[in-house]
Structure 1
Amino acid sequence: MTLSQYLTTQLAKAHHSYSQRNPKSQKAYEDSTEHLPGGNTRTVIHADPFPLTFVKGDQNTLTSIDGHKYIDLLGEFSAGIFGHSDPRIAVAVKDALSRGWNYGGTSVYEKEMARKVCERFGPSGLELVRFTNSGTEANTMAIATALNVTGRKKILVFSSGYHGATLVFPLALMKGDKVATMNLPHDFVYAPYNNIEETREILGQLPRDSLAAILVEPIQGSGGCRPGHVIPSRKIRLLCQMNIRADILTLGKYIGGGMTIGAFGGRRDIMELFDPTKSKLLHPGTYNNNVVSMAAGIAGLDIYNALEVDRLNALGEELRKDIQSVFIKHGLYPENFPGPSTGFVEIDSLQKNAMVQIEAEGNEHIELPPIFVTGRGSMLNVRFSGEEASMWQALFYHHMLSSGINIAARGYTALHLRVSPSDCDAYVRSIEAFVVEHKPMLKSMLK
């Protein structure tokens, strides 16, 4: 039996078992297709043969319409970093709602929220801030700001980058393949993430003084939880056609306490262009200062303080190390892995090779293991290599659901504040059970 045949058979069994276990979710999905294309209004939450329908979230768990409870290790793709139903955020929102919520004017909430955001991110260069409805909108405004300030048109972006629904840059797009995206029609320049030499060559081919901005994630979330190497990130700033530094930062996800929000801000001289008394740049938006998001964000920033940041990141690092140890234990790396130092493979020597960070996508000279994990801090992603990677990923996802663990269909895992060490242990045990079940086929992929 070929690998493809094996995976086709295993995935068919998983889909059948899943359908048998979740008849109410299946009916909810089928009924919703009458009013929603594909049965939902958010592409990323779809999963074959149909997605689960949830009816309740409580602390660290989600309950489906079929009555099954799952340990939630997705954290709303990191937007739900506070877990479910945090009473402090609930009280803040309830209090805000008791005062009315559509003012059509400024409120005390946005002023307090702005103060907290600037204090939190001031060391990163955020001196003044403007709020938006989402991270997508924040990045849209940041780009427009850069174009206005510089008078230039080109924007450097990186492979596998995701900056919102209208700013998606899969690796295939960088290679020149036809990819259906909903991207804004800006003059984008594509470069490989974490590859400074190729980026240097690409920038060298641009007309002088043509680059308006560089759009980059310190850690790619949608791109597989790939951290940007510190040295290349610094070099990229030096490679610009002007002496640029991080002038504008964009924020989203957790800063709204789980509510819809985004923000962009940065150097005072740039952000003051949005000062209405100076009448330079316009930034409208009915819900920019939505009191619900502002109130939840104020409470959330107090909850997710420096101590909690350190605690959650440490929990994630330990989890990644434990998952990596499972793969090493079962011999799922090439004999010479991690091989010579190439800039794409980073090893934590303190963990004696138990924690390996792989950044080799798009580089044909580096052999990827059949299964591996990438990430940093509280974000990580269990991933697969080879032509059948998407089938492996789907099989892994269904294995997790059958074990009572909710992650993203692509293997993305975003820990939140209600996740416990025992939840992480359950995840590691389920991963090892998956490896043991499919070990012969996984090992057959080793060259």
Structure 2
Amino acid sequence: MTVADYLAAQLAESHRAYIERNPKSRIAYENSFAYLPGGNTRTVIHADPFPLTFASGEGSTLTSVDGHKYVDLLGEFSAGIFGHSNPRIANAITDAMTRGWNYGGTCTYEKELASKVCERFGPSGLQLVRFTNSGTEANTMAIATAQNVTGKKKILVFSSGYHGGTLVFPLAVMKGETVAPMNLPHDFVYAPYNNISETREILDHLPQDSLAAILVEPIQGSGGCRPADRRFLNFLRTEADERKALLIMDEVMASRLGYSGYSAEMNIRADIMTLGKYLGGGMTIGAFGGRRDIMELFDPTKSKLFHPGTYNNNVFSMAAGITGLDIYDASEVDRLNNLGEKLKTDIQAILMNHGLYPDSYRSPAAGLMEIDSLLTGTEGYIDDHSDKLIQLPSMFVTGRGTASQWQALFYHHMLERNINIAVRGYTPLHLQVSASDCKAYVESIEAFVIKHKAMLTS
């Protein structure tokens, strides 16, 4: 049997069992076609044959309309870092509600949250901040800011980058194999992630003095939790300086991995930094900030750059964010990172012990770092200290996360064991995840490897 035939058969059986187990979710999905296209208002949460419909969440647990409880290892794609129904955040929002909302003016909450954000993320280069309603808005504003500051138009972006629903850059788009019809029509320049030599050549072929900004995620979220090589980020910082362009660090997801953001952990200074996800305590929020001389252009008394937004300073996101930053303090950042590192090491040990990693991966601390090429595709190398390119295995763990049919089969395998993850395998830990939750996940991964080992190693 070929791998393709095997996967088709296994997926068909997983779908059959899933349909039988979740009749109420199926009905909810089919009924919603009457008022939602495809029964969906958020593409990324669709799953075949239909997504689960959840009724409630508490702590680290989600409950579906069919009454099944799932350990939540998705954490709302990192926005839900506080877990479900955190009482301190609930109290903050309740207190804010008692004071009214929709002020149509400035409020005490935005001033307090802004001071906390600037103090916390100052080491990454953020001196002044402006709030938005999403990470997408934050990145949109950051690009427009860079173009206004520099008087130039070109924006360098990288393969597999995701900066919001209108700023998506899969490798296939960059190679001209497909298009991204929802993307904003900026003058984007495409370059391969983590590839210094190809990126340098692309930059050198640009018209002189045309680059406004370099937009990069220090760890790609939707692109597979892929960390940028430190040398690559230092190269981008140098290129931005030499070309009088701005370096925009998209830390909408990555900022949770360091108390002052991941840029600070890597000792890289951003000109503009974008934030979002957990920053609002699980509420709707985004933010962009950076060097004082840049951000002061938004000072209304100077009337330079215009930035409206009815809900930029809404009291729910502001109040929840204030409490959320108090909860996710330096000790909690360290604790969560340590939990994630142990989980990564445990998963890698399984992949090594069952022969899915070749002998060259035998260091348990090693993580795969990927380097893209617009010429040859994606290859991988093992760590920050090795330049030797190697072929990626069938199943792997990246430096800051986990590794379409294999993904779909893995997803359904986890649901069968009452563990909720993203369809693509994304598992950003949140503060309510326990060591026992991680243990259950590791055991489920080993069960998956054992079940499908013959095909995974073929």
Give the drift of 1:356.
2.6
Give the drift of 1:244.
5.3
Partner of 2:407: 393
Partner of 1:242: 244
Letter of the aligned partner of 1:52 in structure 2? Answer: L
C-alpha distance in structure 2 between counterparts of 1:334 and 1:420, whole Å: 31
Structure 2 counterparts to residues 16-27 of structure 1, below 5 A: 16-27=16-27
* 1:357 aligned onto 2:368: yes
Contact kept, 8 Å, 2:351 with 2:396, in 1: the verdict is: yes
Structure 2 counterparts to residues 197-346 of structure 1, below 5 A: 197-240=197-240, 241-242=243-244, 246-335=270-359, 337-338=360-361
Partner of 1:440: 454
Write out per-residue CA displacement over residues 182-211 of structure 1, whole angstroms, 9 at most, x where no aligned residue: 110000000010001100000000011100
Letter of the aligned partner of 1:135 in structure 2? Answer: G
Give the drift of 1:442.
0.8
Does the residue aligned with 2:181 lie in a helix, a strand or coil? Answer: coil
Partner of 2:421: 407
Partner of 2:432: 418
Does the residue aligned with 1:130 lie in a helix, a strand or coil? Answer: strand
Contact kept, 8 Å, 2:168 with 2:180, in 1: the verdict is: no
Does the residue aligned with 1:238 lie in a helix, a strand or coil? Answer: helix
Does the residue aligned with 1:381 lie in a helix, a strand or coil? Answer: coil
C-alpha distance in structure 1 between counterparts of 2:162 and 2:449, whole Å: 30
Letter of the aligned partner of 1:401 in structure 2? Answer: L
Give the drift of 1:360.
4.5
Distance change in 2, residues 1:153/1:207 (3 Å): same
C-alpha distance in structure 2 between counterparts of 1:153 and 1:110, whole Å: 32
Give the drift of 1:213.
0.4
Give the drift of 1:381.
2.3
Structure 2 counterparts to residues 56-95 of structure 1, below 5 A: 56-95=56-95
Contact kept, 8 Å, 1:127 with 1:265, in 2: the verdict is: yes
Contact kept, 8 Å, 2:211 with 2:245, in 1: the verdict is: no
Name stretches of at least 5 consecutive residues in structure 2 with no aligned partner: 248-269, 380-388
Partner of 1:431: 445
C-alpha distance in structure 2 between counterparts of 1:262 and 1:42, whole Å: 18
C-alpha distance in structure 2 between counterparts of 1:39 and 1:162, whole Å: 24
Contact kept, 8 Å, 2:229 with 2:369, in 1: the verdict is: no
Write out per-residue CA displacement over residues 121-147 of structure 1, whole angstroms, 9 at most, x where no aligned residue: 011111110000000000000000000
Partner of 1:342: none
Does the residue aligned with 1:105 lie in a helix, a strand or coil? Answer: coil
C-alpha distance in structure 1 between counterparts of 2:438 and 2:227, whole Å: 21
C-alpha distance in structure 1 between counterparts of 2:137 and 2:245, whole Å: 27
Contact kept, 8 Å, 1:328 with 1:354, in 2: the verdict is: no
C-alpha distance in structure 1 between counterparts of 2:278 and 2:351, whole Å: 31
C-alpha distance in structure 2 between counterparts of 1:403 and 1:360, whole Å: 34
Letter of the aligned partner of 1:165 in structure 2? Answer: G
Letter of the aligned partner of 1:293 in structure 2? Answer: S
C-alpha distance in structure 2 between counterparts of 1:16 and 1:180, whole Å: 33
Partner of 2:33: 33
Contact kept, 8 Å, 1:360 with 1:368, in 2: the verdict is: no
Does the residue aligned with 2:305 lie in a helix, a strand or coil? Answer: coil
Contact kept, 8 Å, 1:320 with 1:355, in 2: the verdict is: no
Contact kept, 8 Å, 1:315 with 1:421, in 2: the verdict is: yes
Write out per-residue CA displacement over residues 322-363 of structure 1, whole angstroms, 9 at most, x where no aligned residue: 10110000011245x34xxxxxxxxxxxx8345332414524
Does the residue aligned with 1:193 lie in a helix, a strand or coil? Answer: coil
Identity %: 73
Contact kept, 8 Å, 2:150 with 2:245, in 1: the verdict is: no
C-alpha distance in structure 2 between counterparts of 1:403 and 1:203, whole Å: 48
C-alpha distance in structure 1 between counterparts of 2:271 and 2:396, whole Å: 35
Give the drift of 1:366.
3.1
Give the drift of 1:155.
0.1
Give the drift of 1:180.
3.5
Distance change in 2, residues 1:105/1:326 (3 Å): same
C-alpha distance in structure 1 between counterparts of 2:17 and 2:371, whole Å: 35
C-alpha distance in structure 1 between counterparts of 2:196 and 2:236, whole Å: 7
Distance change in 2, residues 1:131/1:354 (3 Å): closer
Does the residue aligned with 1:324 lie in a helix, a strand or coil? Answer: helix
Name stretches of at least 5 consecutive residues in structure 1 with no aligned partner: 339-350, 383-389
C-alpha distance in structure 1 between counterparts of 2:346 and 2:366, whole Å: 8
Contact kept, 8 Å, 2:193 with 2:371, in 1: the verdict is: no
Does the residue aligned with 1:371 lie in a helix, a strand or coil? Answer: coil
Give RMSD over aligned pairs: 1.3
C-alpha distance in structure 2 between counterparts of 1:412 and 1:28, whole Å: 25
Distance change in 2, residues 1:33/1:172 (3 Å): same
Partner of 2:261: none
Contact kept, 8 Å, 1:238 with 1:244, in 2: the verdict is: no
Distance change in 2, residues 1:431/1:17 (3 Å): same
Does the residue aligned with 1:215 lie in a helix, a strand or coil? Answer: strand
C-alpha distance in structure 1 between counterparts of 2:369 and 2:274, whole Å: 26
Contact kept, 8 Å, 2:30 with 2:39, in 1: the verdict is: yes
Write out per-residue CA displacement over residues 7-51 of structure 1, whole angstroms, 9 at most, x where no aligned residue: 000000000000000000000000001100111110000000000
Give the drift of 1:320.
0.6
Letter of the aligned partner of 2:86 in structure 1? Answer: D
Give the drift of 1:375.
3.7
C-alpha distance in structure 2 between counterparts of 1:277 and 1:333, whole Å: 59
Give the drift of 1:272.
0.7
C-alpha distance in structure 2 between counterparts of 1:156 and 1:140, whole Å: 14
The TM-score with structure 1 as length reference comes to: 0.92
Aligned length: 421
Does the residue aligned with 2:143 lie in a helix, a strand or coil? Answer: helix
C-alpha distance in structure 1 between counterparts of 2:48 and 2:116, whole Å: 41
Contact kept, 8 Å, 1:73 with 1:414, in 2: the verdict is: yes
Give the drift of 1:436.
0.2
The TM-score with structure 2 as length reference comes to: 0.90
